[in-house]
Chain A
Amino acid sequence: MMVLETLLYIIAYPPLWQVIVIGLLGSFLTAMIAIWFERKAAARVQRRIGPYWASPRLGGFLNLVADMIRYILQEVIIPRTVDKVPFVLAPVAAFVVSIMPIAFVPLSPYEKFWPVPDMQYSLLIALAITTVPPLLAVIGGWASNNKFAVIGSLRESYVITAYELIFVIAVLSAAPTFLTLNVLHIVEAQSPFMWLAFLNPIAFLAAFLAVLMSTSAFPFEIPESEHEVVAGPYTEYSGILYALNMGGAYVRRFIYAVLISLVFLGGWAPYVPPSEGPLFAIIVPSIIVAVKALIVVLAMSFLRAVYGRYRLDQALDSAWRLVLPLALIGLGWGIALGLIM
């Protein structure tokens, strides 16, 4: 019993649990489930079967494992013409920085389970860090010294400029509603079912669309559209570096989804964590948050089956003329809610 308790405390050690288990492993698992679901859902809607023969009982899930092993074992080719240091560092740094925002949000109401001691400005800090990885993707594309990569980077920067602003505005609309920038207070104010997604659906929709576009989720993969620019910023990458780039997009989507589930979907809302014991104070609430985030990611994956890819001009047009006003309306609604409440 003593051993088990100690082991639990070691696992629940905040940096280990929150950053490595939920952040790294969780996003890894989410990426695999999301890719699998994306392929299966698109196949169902298009009257196909999708991945199947690798493991018929699991619906072909092991196909993803095989893909992953292939990426890991593949030869990494670094062309002679690239700028080597940024070329290699950019995807690695982007992957690491993508996970980092999760270290600055609370997944438990108790201070001893936080990776950082103070959550006063957690919403702002997490939002600020989510804006870094696209820059690294642009750096990697520029370092590739390839016209497709440069065009892809340019598209990426266009899309990011438009949609990250929308995401930041939409998520910050929670601040005037609850008069705080502390994610913990925002989560606790939503308990048990006063979720901001119900109170302020417009901002929620804007945030959802912004994540969909800015992480180039599959139907909207404008920067790396295969038919136009070979693989966008990732044209020259191969093997594990390409996997980091491609998985990085899913990791970013998962981290965005964690932020959305904390701010809009009430975090660990219906559940009220008791103060003692690591199992019920940190592990259960963080898993609730991760599952909510997974559902958000899967909802995004499903849209692949329904929508075609937008052109760059259509995406930017809808961003500046439709979704940005939507986000601003959401912010106004948030301020109005704050005045009423």
Chain B
Amino acid sequence: MPPRVAVKNLKKGGGLFEGVKSNIEALIVGIKYFVDPKRMTLLYPKEYPEHRPGYRGFIVLKKDVCISCAACARVCPSAAMKMVRVTEADPREPGKARQKQYPVINYQRCIFCGYCVDVCPVEALYHLPFHDITYESLADMFLTLEAFQKEPLRPVEKEGSPVVYEFDESAGLVKREKKGGA
């Protein structure tokens, strides 16, 4: 036998007076927000959110540190990361070539979960605090090994100004201009 569910005693709607009062209260709240709106909408190219350093944005590879363990490619839940085999000069034996595997990323698939950064045993991957994925073609979203080592530029940094979302006691989450400029 399932446990008894306590039936909530809902208060029945009050009389005419109560109805009129609550309607007027709703109107007052509406007018208050109409006169003094605390807007949250981000006007994207003119404003961009300034995230804190721990934010999981674009991922960048430090190629010299990478040990080719492929843990990042295996852990990637959306199969955005792949290992590519490259032939390069061997630093330990000058004059000889060696083959090594490095990760590359496909931003068409990446969900910015950051598992690859977490799993990397030598910290060869790191995050940037933004991910404005704007590319001219879909093919550009497959990063080559060279592109994966460069920190991508933020397209709105020139025309926009940074904003932060802060918690306000009375209004909840509000949008504020970031102090001290970009």
Contact = CB atoms under 8 A, between A and B. Distances in A.
B33 interface: yes
Contact of A306 (B30, B38, B39, B41): B30
A305 B30 CA distance: 7
A307 B22 CA distance: 11
B34 A47 contact: no
A305 B39 CA distance: 15
Interface residues of B, number: 13
Nearest to B171: A47
Given A49-B43, A52-B43, A305 B38 contact: no
Interface in B14-38: 16, 26-27, 29-30, 33-34, 37-38
A307 B26 contact: yes
B27 A49 contact: no
A45 B26 contact: no
Contacts of A44: 33-34, 37, 39
A322 B16 CA distance: 9
Question: For this complex, into which size category does the number of interface residues on chain A fall?
Answer: 10 to 19
Interface in A286-321: 302, 305-307
B40 to A, nearest CB: 5
Contacts of A45: 30, 33-34, 37
B26 A47 contact: no
Contacts of A48: 39-41
A208 B37 CA distance: 27
Given A44-B33, A307-B26, 12 more contacts: A44-B37, A44-B39, A45-B34, A47-B37, A47-B38, A48-B39, A48-B40, A49-B41, A302-B30, A302-B34, A305-B34, A306-B30
Q: Which 10 A-B pairs have the closest CB atoms?
A: A306-B30, A44-B37, A45-B33, A49-B41, A47-B40, A48-B41, A44-B34, A306-B26, A47-B39, A45-B30
22 contacts: A44-B34, A44-B37, A44-B39, A45-B30, A45-B33, A45-B37, A46-B33, A47-B33, A47-B37, A47-B38, A47-B39, A47-B40, A48-B40, A49-B39, A49-B41, A49-B43, A52-B43, A302-B30, A302-B34, A305-B34, A306-B29, A307-B26
